[in-house]
A and B are shown apart, each in its own frame.
Chain A
Amino acid sequence: MAIRDDFEVAASQVRQAVQRFALALLVVCAFAAMLIGKADTVLVENARVLALDLASPALEAIARPVAVANRTIADLREFATLREENARLREENTRLLAWQTAARRLENENDRLRELSQFREGPEASFITSRIVGDSVSAYVRGALLNVGRKAGVTSGQAVVTAEGLAGRIAEVGDNSARVLFVTDVNSRLPVQIERTRERAILAGDNSTLMRLTLVQTVQGVQRGDRIVTSGHGGSFPLGIPVGEVVQAGDGTSVKVRPFADFSRLEFVRVVDYGVTGLVGSGGPPATSLPPAGPRGR
């Protein structure tokens, strides 16, 4: 009996010790997770991708009704301004028709000039359309989750565009999911050029709604209203995707750019498959890349 009593006493002491140190143990575990995340980024990346792939179906199930609700709210809002909106659109339409004529003429002219000069065009881009199934709305990350992944031909570093302009680039890819890092994220650095002057610069996000234009050679050359487009440097982005518009410049301090893409109402985006993985993407060429003869969607 004495042995058994001793054993029970020891066991209860162990249990008490574990209970007393449970908090410390958990805190140590959390710190260990953070340290592992710092030391072994590949492992964490794989864990992220796995978590994304697992959560993606659930997120998609949540996203559908949410999208319907969002659209209903937007519809209700639009009903109020239907008349003004119609008038504005009709006016805009006439203006755009004039532009369309000009664009057709220029495109023909461009084609003929290219034939004359035997200009070799860069690789042609094809698009993968995707629904946004999740937001990264944490206070420190600007991004979104897509419901397409490696199986659809998405690879890390590809450009993500909306109808208005560039939204961001692919940061992580799972089998059926991918994470977009928006151009406004604090980690985003984008090689761009100013459309008017063809001057190169780097566009840096800082988690706010505006972006900063850095490494401009002559700040005086930038004016308010200048359009900023991708420069194609770095390889994985096509040249000339519109990114944003300069809203603050000229006072010698910093140049602020407002993105064309409206991140608050994104529902569908297109991933640009440019055929080359470039310098931005990590790792070698993808094993299951699409054939380059994709439909030319421009």
Chain B
Amino acid sequence: MRADGLLARLDHWGRLLLPGVVLLFFVLLTLAPLRVPYISDILPLLPALTVFQFSLVTPERLPGPLLLAMGVLLDLLLGGPGAPVGVSALGFVLIRAAVVNNRRYLVGVPFLFQWIGFCLLTLGYVVIVWVFTALFTWTNLDAGPALAQYLVMVVAYPLLAPLLARVRPRDPLNVPESSRGTAQPGETTS
């Protein structure tokens, strides 16, 4: 097969776009009227999970500006009157930065460590969203539902993460030298 054949190009673009498309899908799914208990609880945090998981695996395919746009879109779609626009964007960007700057504690380590990292970062995300929403609407918002969502998401993480982690960090056959990174051959992420 030629290197620039149609299939190869499709493969290339598919790999490039997959994380962004999955994130967009989850942003839209946040609004889907699923009436299943527990599942509808974790929906609002699925985009955050996607950002965390893909930032672990392929941060270069989920650049900051894209996260910013997705966060703003999520806030526009989700928020009612008076809810802040851009708070999810802030959370996404901070999650990505935290993951990228702590790769050595999160990549190629036992799954438990990833889980703990996810718990800490998502807690930060939930707290940020709560603080800014409360400041914006200037009401003492009940944090109970948000914490319930958080707890369900923490429990659901081991079920969902392996699915998203199937996205391979890089094309094993045709990697440009510049994006090879520091990972050693045989290093896996889950």
Q: Which residues of A contact B (CB under 8 A)?
A: 22-23, 26-27, 29-34, 36-38, 44, 47-48, 51-52, 55, 58-59, 62-63, 66-67, 70, 73, 132-145, 171-172, 179, 181, 185-187, 206-208, 264-267
What chain A residues lie within 8 Å of B30 (beta carbons)?
137-138
What chain A residues lie within 8 Å of B29 (beta carbons)?
62
Chain A residue with Cβ nearest B145:
A139
Neighbour of B73 across the interface among A51, A59, A67, CB < 8 A? A51
Contact between chains at A23 and B93 (CB < 8 Å):
yes
- Residues of B156-172 whose CB lies within 8 A of A: none
Contact between chains at A171 and B80 (CB < 8 Å):
yes
Neighbour of A132 across the interface among B33, B67, B133, CB < 8 A? B33
Contact between chains at B149 and A139 (CB < 8 Å):
yes
Contact between chains at B80 and A179 (CB < 8 Å):
yes
What chain B residues lie within 8 Å of A67 (beta carbons)?
33
Q: From residue B75, how far is it (CB to closest CB) to chain A in Å?
A: 8
Inter-chain CB contacts under 8 Å: number: 148
Q: How far, in whole Å, are A62 and B85 apart by their CA atoms in the complex?
A: 24
Contact between chains at A144 and B33 (CB < 8 Å):
yes
Main SS of the interface on chain B? Answer: helix
Q: List 29 A-B contacts (CB under 8 A).
A: A23-B64, A23-B93, A29-B89, A30-B71, A30-B86, A34-B86, A34-B136, A38-B136, A44-B85, A48-B77, A51-B77, A52-B77, A55-B77, A63-B32, A132-B33, A133-B31, A136-B78, A137-B30, A137-B43, A137-B44, A138-B79, A139-B143, A139-B145, A140-B145, A142-B80, A171-B80, A186-B139, A207-B142, A207-B145
Contact between chains at B31 and A135 (CB < 8 Å):
yes
B22 within 8 A of partner (CB) = no
Neighbour of B40 across the interface among A36, A137, A207, CB < 8 A? A137
B3 within 8 A of partner (CB) = no
Contact between chains at B80 and A70 (CB < 8 Å):
no
Q: From residue A76, how far is it (CB to closest CB) to chain B in Å?
A: 13
Q: From residue A133, how far is it (CB to closest CB) to chain B in Å?
A: 7
Chain A residue with Cβ nearest B27:
A55
Contact between chains at A58 and B28 (CB < 8 Å):
yes
Contact between chains at B142 and A208 (CB < 8 Å):
yes
